[in-house]
Structure 1
Amino acid sequence: MKSQLFFVLLPLFLLLPSSAIRFDIQNNCSYTLWPAVLPYGGGRHLDSGQTWTLDFADGPRLARIWARTNCSFDSSGRGSCLTGDCAGQLNCTSYGTPPLSKAEYGLNNFAHMDYYDISLIDGFNVPLEMTPTTNGCSKSIRCSADVVGQCPADLRAPGGCQNPCTVYKTPEYCCRAGRCLPTDKSRFFKALCAEAFTYPEDDPTSTFTCPEGTNYRVVFCP
């Protein structure tokens, strides 16, 4: 269901008119991050306390926002990150490598509403919060628990807490066949971050809406 919200319907609403949208991405962590935004923003270095603002005059239709940690890049923008790495590029053109926690936005054609969420389907690396800031929409969603510190031994990964599909690659954890249900591993994440996506059909408790054209703020380490 989650994939349907953001991606299966994408061809249907590519032709719809859109409105300007702004993302303010703030690093409230005590350490440097390298946030990334796809498919529109790429990526950049963001020191503690800094904010990266992205303004889009027409759209975007969808966006994924995540933080990369412990990165090192050369003058050409090539390097690597401990978590969230996108093929060794500073300016991401591909999605990050789990584990990573992410904020997601999608313009769905149903009633011209924005859909937004925080997802732990790809695991967790940095606490985050996503908040609408315009159009009278103000429902903030947050995952600020110590997920890494409480991570089960089998999901522990350098710099984060891995998702069970990446670790086990089974239909049960990856929801690749049959009915998609919560698992013991998804319940671990859900217990710590109740409003976050923790498995692919976690929509009822984890998808939120605003009027089309709403602006958003994403804060890492809220």
Structure 2
Amino acid sequence: MSPLKTTLPILGLLFVTLSFRLANAATFQVRNNCPFTVWAAGVPGGGRQLNRGETWIINANPGTVQARIWARTNCQFDASGRGRCQTGDCNGLLECKSFGAAPNTLAEYALDQFMHLDFIDISVIDGFNVPMEFSSVSGQCTRVIKCTGDLIGQCPNELRVQGGCNGPCPVFKTEEHCCNSGNCGPTNLSRFFKQRCPDAYSYPKDDPTSLFTCPTGTNYKVVFCP
């Protein structure tokens, strides 16, 4: 068989695979409804200043895992995109290439996983800085997750920081709170978060009440201060 005849079926398969992945890429509409400016961040995605009412679009391919979107607050950046944020800072960069510093309310997702499902959640394991809604905007899924409790105003003294309420793991760094071995349960501090944001991850083993799915191909929106 000629090299050309061998190559054509391979190219066709690659084209079909690429077309499938592009057709099932997810769009995330990130909107700031807060009465103040936030600097939205995403991995993947980078970062963007969002004044009140502004929206930023992030596109993510099927197979994307360990992804997250969050808000940064009280930031100052120079013309080169370097600076610092009070909460959610990602190594001083406007265009994030790494996860943000606690505390930050997180929208987390993994796309096109088991049985062609997307897995989505809101997490406050790393603390809370801005109220959040994470929901689908496609007809095949009607999932809405929210974390809008008064976590900053009621934050326990040992977790209070400027601009947010820190998570117990970033503060104490103990097995009890961080669950590095995979064997842990809720604590009094994680229950504080869970009582005010029942849809959100409050500790690492909080899957049954905090991890949700939508069919692959669903599009989503993340709203700060819904």
Tell me the TM-score normalized by structure 2. Answer: 0.87
Shift of 1:141: 0.5
Deviating more after overlay: 179-188 vs 66-75 = 179-188
Shift of 1:109: 2.9
What percentage of aligned pairs have identical amino acids?
A: 55
How big is the shift at 1:138? 1.1
Distance 1:185 1:108 in 2: 33
Find out whether 1:198 has 2:188 as its counterpart: no
Aligned residue in 2 for 1:133? 137
1:113-124 aligned at under 5 Å gives the runs 113-124=117-128
Tell me if the contact between 2:124 and 2:202 (Cα under 8 Å) persists in the aligned partners. yes
Task: Please provide the CA RMSD for this pair.
Answer: 1.6
Q: Which runs of 5+ in 2 are unaligned?
A: 1-16
Q: Which residue number in structure 1 is paired with residue 212 of structure 2?
A: 208
Q: Separation in 1 of the partners of 2:105 and 2:182?
A: 26
Instruction: Quote the residue 1:172 is aligned against.
Output: 176
Q: Is the 8 A contact 2:47 2:94 kept in 1?
A: yes
Change (3 A) 1:178 1:139: closer
Name the counterpart of 2:81: 77
Offset from partner CA, 1:130-181 (integer Å, 9 cap, x none): 0101142111010011100000000001100001111111111111236211
Q: Per the alignment, in what secondary structure is the counterpart of residue 177 of structure 2?
A: helix
1:25 lines up with 2:30 in the alignment: yes
Q: Deviation string for 1:80-134 (max 9, x for gaps)?
A: 0000000000000011000000101112531110010000010000000001011
Which secondary structure does the structure 2 equivalent of 1:147 belong to? coil
Residue 189 of structure 1 is matched in structure 2 by 193
Does residue 70 of structure 2 align to residue 66 of structure 1? Answer: yes
Give, in whole Å, the separation in 2 of the partners of 1:71 and 1:141.
Answer: 27
Helix, strand or coil for the counterpart of 2:198?
A: coil
Q: Secondary structure at the match of 1:70?
A: strand
Note the residue ranges of structure 1 that are not aligned, 5 or more in a row: 1-14
Moved over 2 A (4+): 15-18
Contact 1:25-1:219 at 8 Å conserved across structures? yes
- Name the CA distance, whole Å, in 1 between partners of 2:76 and 2:224: 19
Amino acid paired to 1:99: P
Q: Is the 8 A contact 2:63 2:112 kept in 1?
A: no
Aligned position for 2:6 = none
User: Residue 22 of structure 1 contacts residue 53 of structure 1 at CA under 8 Å; is this kept in 2?
Assistant: yes
What is the one-letter code of the residue matched to 2:162? Answer: P
Contact 1:21–1:60, Cα closer than 8 Å, also in 2: no
